[in-house]
């Protein structure tokens, strides 16, 4: 144990001064050192060091961003760091001070060690006795094989992401190492995620710890032992948190169809990268607004198609909520979360503002996509390029990045991007609105086939994103074709397991029941486990059935206002119209898929019946 003293100081003496002092005290106590800390700032000196404290100290730590008088520490080894370093690399700072103290002590005792060395050189060295004749030579002790350490992964996050986030990460790291585990900690703060966990690290981890006082997405941890706690508990009771995480029961090894589908969706999400991943992030956050807005607009039509035009009525209020509320936010949220996916939190402001400008300039969802990518990449470039002094670094996420990135995106949207994209969007909307006959059938068949060909993969999501984006322009027929076609693969497989039982194993027939529910809920991924077992036969059958459904839906002019929910939204009046032929198109595609499977698949060998018991 070493006796240490420290001074922390920043220009204001409020934030970094106190946080650095607290971090040094906490880590010193955990490592068994005696530390006295003096803080200096605009309000003067707090907890001043006494002459006795300084005299007893073996080393001094100066964690300061301003000039500090060092005259009273003459003759003491001094470790000088910034307050930011003391907050984030506390253990390393303390270790450096302890090493400096040890080096000073060794230098002071150098002559005594030399004298002792001479005396030891003159003294005889006793040798080990030789083994007796005929006795076996003693075996050399085998070096123990290195023990592979387990792995933990963790996420820490507090609302500001400055102090407690990094202190909790440090505490969890020490506690995990004390328990014999390696650990990787992702910190989420106001300037984005640092040390982001990879899919491989999560897969190898024995357990996951989330110490957060803000929202942390948990989808990527599906199937792992997961402990959720506050950032404060992760900081103050890190050893208990690690123990609790490791004592959680292991997930079950035999997943049912629903779990297989969840795992398949997680794997598809992990494979997403680059612009495609950013686009789907924006769509996923936009989707609830589109669903809620579309259904509320449909409810207003219950009272009559034009009833909302009467001011002060309930239909008018419903239209205001759905059309002027939820649908107005649709494009800004799309753009904001595309930018968020690219640049983390710094991208939100330019993305949201750019998306709102896209709506005002009639650039629609295409303008929102452009604004989102532009806002994200501009914010990320500013975040990674602009360098400020340590004591001004906190201004980047709240002033520098939002101001500069929003200014750049806003000016480009107004003067460069808005009008051309608006013209493209208007042309696309007019083309789709005037489409009929063979063209509509062909587009519906194409969208339907895209929904089934990879069942939740990039092609599926491209068709879905295209259809969802058109809802903001009051173009509803592509969305109807897309959702109907997406329901067909699992529904067709479920029907096939009933009418062609000899083509499926007993396990597949049982899974067919769950696939029916997933298909009815518009979860195309419900067909993935079947496709993985027999892709050559299942995928063509699914594509054929979905193409038929998409072609019928578009050709018959079916429109859908809510982009998700499957058959469960059809009970909402006017959510889809015309309802009867829309249901007919789903049934037709389901039957086509089932019949195609009957033709393509061969009967499977059934287990032989046990011989009759002898009398």
Ranges of beta strands (E only) in 128-236 are 150-157, 181-189, 192-194, 207-212, 226-229
Instruction: Count the neighbouring beta carbons within 10 Å of the beta carbon of residue 270.
Output: 16
Q: Which of 158, 264, 348, 596 is catalytic?
A: 158
- Give the distance from CA 598 to its chain's centroid: 41
Give, in degrees to the nearest 5, the angle at Cα 491 between 488 and 493: 105
Residue 559 C-beta-side C-alpha neighbours within 13 Å: 15
d(CA 68, CA 9) in angstroms, rounded, equals: 8
> Which residue, 552, 494, 547, 554, is CA-closest to 519?
494
d(CA 172, CA 251) in angstroms, rounded, equals: 23
Distances (CA, A) of 426 to 267, 365, 420, 421, 432: 37, 11, 10, 9, 10
d(CA 255, CA 184) in angstroms, rounded, equals: 27
Residues facing residue 207 across a β-bridge:
152
Given a contact cutoff of 8 angstroms between Cβ atoms, the answer to whether 549 and 591 are in contact is no
Residue 107 C-beta-side C-alpha neighbours within 13 Å: 9
Please confirm whether the linkage preceding 57 is cis (ω < 30° from 0): no
Distances (CA, A) of 109 to 47, 79, 112, 115, 203: 33, 21, 5, 10, 52
> Which residue, 102, 101, 241, 232, is CA-closest to 181?
241
Element (H, E) at 577: strand 576-577
d(CA 489, CA 527) in angstroms, rounded, equals: 6
d(CA 87, CA 20) in angstroms, rounded, equals: 5
3-state secondary structure of 405: helix
Annotated catalytic residue 558 = no
Residues facing residue 156 across a β-bridge:
187, 211
Q: What are phi and psi of 450, to 5 degrees?
A: -65, -35
- Give the distance from CA 299 to its chain's centroid: 34
Helices of type H across 413-534: 418-433, 438-453, 458-470, 477-499, 506-520, 528-533
Helices of type H across 500-578: 506-520, 528-533, 535-555
The catalytic residue positions are: 158
């Amino acid at each position: 144990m070493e006796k240490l003293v420290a001074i922390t100081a920043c220009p204001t003496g409020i934030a970094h001064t106190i946080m650095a002092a607290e971090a040094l005290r906490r880590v010193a106590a955990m490592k068994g050192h005696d530390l006295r800390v003096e803080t200096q700032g605009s309000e003067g000196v707090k907890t001043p060091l006494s002459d006795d404290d300084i005299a007893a100290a073996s080393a001094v730590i100066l964690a300061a961003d301003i000039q500090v008088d060092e005259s009273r520490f003459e003759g003491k080894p001094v470790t000088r760091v910034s307050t930011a370093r003391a907050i984030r690399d506390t253990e390393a700072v303390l270790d450096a001070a302890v090493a400096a103290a040890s080096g000073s002590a060794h230098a002071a005792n150098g002559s005594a060690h030399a004298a002792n060395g001479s005396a030891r050189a003159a003294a005889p060295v006793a040798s080990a006795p030789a083994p007796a004749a005929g006795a076996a030579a003693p075996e050399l002790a085998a070096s123990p094989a290195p023990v592979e350490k387990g792995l933990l992964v963790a996420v820490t996050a507090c609302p500001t992401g400055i102090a407690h986030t990094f202190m909790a990460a440090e505490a969890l790291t020490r506690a995990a190492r004390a328990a014999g585990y390696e650990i990787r900690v992702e910190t989420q703060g106001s300037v984005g995620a640092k040390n982001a966990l990879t899919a491989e690290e999560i897969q190898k981890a024995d357990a996951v710890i989330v110490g957060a006082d803000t929202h942390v997405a948990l989808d990527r941890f599906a199937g792992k032992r997961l402990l959720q706690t506050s950032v404060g508990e992760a900081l103050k009771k890190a050893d208990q948190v690690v123990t609790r995480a490791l004592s959680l029961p292991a997930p079950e090894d035999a997943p049912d169809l629903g779990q297989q589908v969840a795992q398949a969706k997680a794997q598809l999400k992990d494979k997403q990268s680059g612009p495609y991943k950013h686009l789907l992030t924006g769509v996923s956050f936009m989707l609830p607004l589109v669903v809620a807005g579309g259904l509320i607009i449909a409810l207003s039509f219950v009272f009559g198609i034009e009833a909302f035009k009467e001011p002060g009525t309930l239909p008018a209020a419903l239209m205001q909520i759905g059309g002027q509320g939820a649908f107005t936010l649709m494009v800004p949220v799309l753009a904001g979360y595309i930018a968020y996916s690219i640049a983390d939190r710094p991208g939100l402001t330019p993305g949201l503002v750019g998306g709102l400008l896209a709506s005002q300039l009639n650039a629609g969802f295409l303008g929102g996509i452009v604004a989102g990518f532009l806002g994200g990449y501009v914010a990320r470039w500013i975040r990674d390029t602009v360098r400020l002094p340590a004591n001004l670094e906190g201004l980047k996420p709240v002033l520098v990045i939002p101001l500069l990135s929003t200014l750049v995106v806003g000016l480009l949207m107004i003067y460069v991007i808005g009008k051309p994209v608006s013209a493209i969007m208007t042309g696309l909307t007019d083309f789709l609105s005037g489409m009929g006959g063979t063209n509509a059938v062909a587009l519906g068949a194409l969208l339907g086939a895209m929904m089934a060909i990879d069942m939740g993969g990039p092609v599926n999501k491209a068709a879905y994103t295209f259809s969802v984006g058109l809802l903001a322009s009051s173009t509803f027929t592509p969305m109807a074709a897309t959702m109907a076609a997406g329901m067909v693969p699992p529904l067709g497989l479920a029907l096939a397991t009933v009418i062609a039982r000899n083509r499926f194993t007993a396990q597949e027939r049982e899974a067919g029941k769950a696939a029916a529910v997933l298909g009815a809920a518009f979860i195309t991924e419900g067909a993935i486990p079947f496709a993985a077992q027999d892709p050559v036969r299942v995928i063509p059958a699914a594509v054929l059935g979905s193409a038929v459904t998409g072609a019928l839906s578009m050709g018959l002019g079916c429109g859908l206002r809510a982009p998700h929910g499957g058959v469960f939204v059809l009970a909402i009046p006017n959510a889809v119209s015309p309802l009867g032929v829309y249901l007919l198109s789903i049934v037709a595609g389901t039957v086509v898929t089932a019949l195609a499977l009957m033709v393509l698949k061969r009967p499977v060998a059934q287990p032989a019946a046990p011989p009759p018991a002898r009398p």
